[in-house]
Amino acid sequence: MGREDSHYRPEGPDGRRTGRPGAGGVTGRVPVPEANVPRVAQPMPGPAVGASTGPAPTGPNGGTSTGTGPTGGAGRDLPPPPIYRPPGAPPAGSAGSADRPPGTGSGYADAPGATAAPPDAGPPGPAPRRRGRRLLVLAGVLLLVLAGAGVVVTRPGPVAGWLGDEVAAPTPGATTEPPPAAVLTGLDPNAAEPTPDGVRAALAPLVGAPALGSRVNVSVTDVRTGQTLYGQGADDGTVPASVAKLVTAVTVLAARGPAYRIPTRAVAGPNEGEVVIVGGGDPTLAVDDDGFYPGAARLDELAEQVRQALGGVAATKVIVDSSLYSGPKYEPGWDDDIPTGGYGGAVTALMTDGARKDPVRARKDLAAGNGGAERVPEPDLAAGRAFARLLGVPGDAVQRGSSPAPGGTDAGTPGPGAELGTVESPPVIRLVDFMISDSDNLVAEALARQVALARSQPASFVGAGAAMDEVVGELGLPADELALADASGLSRSNRISPSLLTDLIALAGNGSRPELAAIFAGLPVGGWSGTLLSRYDSAVTNTGAGVVRAKTGTLTGVHAIAGLVTTADGRLLSFAVLTDRAPADTIEQTRLALDRIAAALAGCGCR
């Protein structure tokens, strides 16, 4: 069973066609600025990440990198992904280093290709694969070390502002973990470019595997040059499943910016003692400090602000205003079991913990590898009742309504519509990571509505789809190869071409739009994290372990993977493989067939 749902209904149409040759061309549509001349990073204190400061570069298993990828088959232990530390920052365990708070996702990670173990650190011992610790080190995402693409872009400056965090000093006497070794293979700035003929020779025997079904659409692009190296149905609209979240991520980062935070407000109601809670679309809002998402805004803190603002006036009623969103709460193209299947739910402007009924249990289940969770059917009212309890208001005094127009005050008492308090979500850069690392569908739908609001569209499924299409066009990408009914990939009505995905990934990774690089933070790493945790461990796929970083998507009969891969020569490629007519009863075989394609790219120079 995939993350999205468990039923497949074969489709009649082939998806939207664009009129362009299905095989794609051999010239990419996203030029990489200054790709042929390595960019000089701005001078920074301390050694530059990725610079040679001692021993030879380490490969995925901690040994000297030979460009051949990890070795070993099933049952091997991989070290954890690298942690980024800004140039000049103290190493782990010294004053000023940031501790990693416990979490439940697959991990914050570094930018593609980055390594950050201090040169004087001893090699860590083998570590079991795990996903229970989220690495809150998103700063590394914005330091792009794309040496293999001929682009070195050092951008630590704005990251602290985007995250809004201060580096916490370690607790005296606390035990600190040694710096982990790198997982992702280092890039070679002098790596030879693969040729279309070489890539075709590597992939042609694999794309026709019976387990992939009758329609397999593929695109492979060189990140440095933007050249399309391989295309089969590359421009054809295909059901993307959860890979659609890559489009959601890029468009919200472009439209809102990495630092934007979603507010949840409380205002005075029309009558004394009445409080209106106004949903702003934050799906990560928590009731208290035991919520599902790390660093979430909290209703108990909002309630305290309200009590202070009301002075001696007791709250008597809570009105829930979730009118920011319009249209249906469930996308009409979703399968019937989505509302109760554990991975989807009602999309409302006010909710707590992604509408999960029991966030504590959901955290434990996610740490154990199960991201499904029971969702409440009316998330806005459930959040309103939780807020009412914190204010001492009975549950039967909670109802839906709207905020009154702001008025004046009467003898110091807040008048109708006066703001009583506000709490804000983590910044968009972190919400994007939640969405991608855990394939969080409700976070995806919330972020898409932020794109809609930023482009003056209705905050609905239709409005979000139109707004994302608009932003994709603004970025210079082929919007005619995109048709989104939702932002999570749950809908079978979605269509995305593989070439749009590889162009989008190349744009996010080439350094021309540094804010878009946040999409790489949560991408699962082959053989290490997320949906790729237990993959790339067979004899025919292990060259992709620690080398493939990609988003996966699964509906019954629909399988997709798109992301980055480093070739054996150290060249960075973007790739996308989408199949939406796979046999319904060959899930594992289909995933293996997909992984063989990415592993073939990792294992060859393709010249």
Q: What is the pLDDT of residue 408?
A: 65
Do residues 247 and 266 both lie within one domain?
A: no
157 is written with which tokens?
């400056």
Q: What is the pLDDT of residue 157?
A: 41
Q: Please state the separation of Cα 347 from the chain's center in Å.
A: 19
Q: What is the pLDDT of residue 189?
A: 76
Q: Please state the separation of Cα 3 from the chain's center in Å.
A: 15
Beta bridge mates, 496: 238, 482
pLDDT mean values, one per 10 residues, the chain (607 residues): 35 33 31 30 31 33 34 35 31 32 31 32 35 36 37 39 52 50 63 94 97 97 94 97 98 98 98 97 98 97 97 96 98 91 96 98 92 96 98 97 82 87 98 95 98 98 98 97 97 97 95 92 91 93 95 95 95 96 94 97 93
Q: Is residue 248 part of a domain?
A: yes
Beta bridge mates, 576: 219, 562
Instruction: Give the end of a domain, one of 396, 426, 456.
Output: 426
State how far the Cα of 440 lies from the Cα of 377, in Å rounded to an integer.
17
Q: What is the pLDDT of residue 434?
A: 95
Please name the amino acid found at residue 380. Answer: D
Residues ≥6 apart with Cβ < 8 Å to 534: none
Instruction: Give the end of a domain, one of 399, 426, 453.
Output: 426
Q: Is residue 316 part of a domain?
A: yes
Owning domain of residue 526: 196-256+440-603
Beta bridge mates, 550: 563
Please name the amino acid found at residue 8. Answer: Y
Do residues 503 and 564 both lie within one domain?
A: yes
Least Cα distance to 593 among 68, 216, 222 occurs for 216
Do residues 368 and 351 both lie within one domain?
A: yes
Are 438 and 343 in contact, with CB atoms under 8 Å apart? no
Do residues 512 and 583 both lie within one domain?
A: yes
Q: What is the pLDDT of residue 92?
A: 34
Q: Is residue 174 part of a domain?
A: no
Q: Is residue 160 part of a domain?
A: no
Least Cα distance to 82 among 49, 44, 42 occurs for 49
Do residues 206 and 307 both lie within one domain?
A: no
C-alpha R_g of the chain: 24
State how far the Cα of 587 lies from the Cα of 594, in Å rounded to an integer.
11
Do residues 281 and 356 both lie within one domain?
A: yes
Residues ≥6 apart with Cβ < 8 Å to 458: 326, 327, 452
Secondary structure class of 166 (helix, strand, coil):
coil
**CA-to-CA dists, residue 437 to 275, 448, 520, 550, angstroms:** 36, 17, 9, 10
Beta bridge mates, 563: 550, 575
State how far the Cα of 486 lies from the Cα of 121, in Å rounded to an integer.
46
**CA-to-CA dists, residue 11 to 1, 297, 577, angstroms:** 20, 42, 19
Q: Is residue 412 part of a domain?
A: yes
Q: Is residue 558 part of a domain?
A: yes
Do residues 471 and 550 both lie within one domain?
A: yes
Instruction: Give the end of a domain, one of 426, 454, 489.
Output: 426
Q: Is residue 7 part of a domain?
A: no
Q: What is the pLDDT of residue 547?
A: 93
Least Cα distance to 426 among 285, 249, 299, 256 occurs for 285
Secondary structure class of 429 (helix, strand, coil):
helix
Do residues 217 and 286 both lie within one domain?
A: no
Least Cα distance to 571 among 205, 238, 202, 83 occurs for 202
List, by residue number, the catalytic residues: 242, 245, 439
- For the chain, the domain total comes to 2
Least Cα distance to 253 among 576, 607, 514 occurs for 514
Do residues 301 and 243 both lie within one domain?
A: no
Please name the amino acid found at residue 328. Answer: P
Do residues 516 and 412 both lie within one domain?
A: no
- The CATH number of the domain where 545 resides is what? 3.40.710.10
Q: What is the pLDDT of residue 155?
A: 33
Do residues 251 and 387 both lie within one domain?
A: no
495 is written with which tokens?
């269509």
Do residues 219 and 345 both lie within one domain?
A: no
Q: For residue 380, which phi and psi values (nearest 5 degrees)?
A: -70, -45
Q: Is residue 453 part of a domain?
A: yes
Backbone angle region of 371, left / alpha / beta, with phi > 0 → left and psi within -120 to 50 → alpha: alpha
**Host H or E run for residue 75:** none
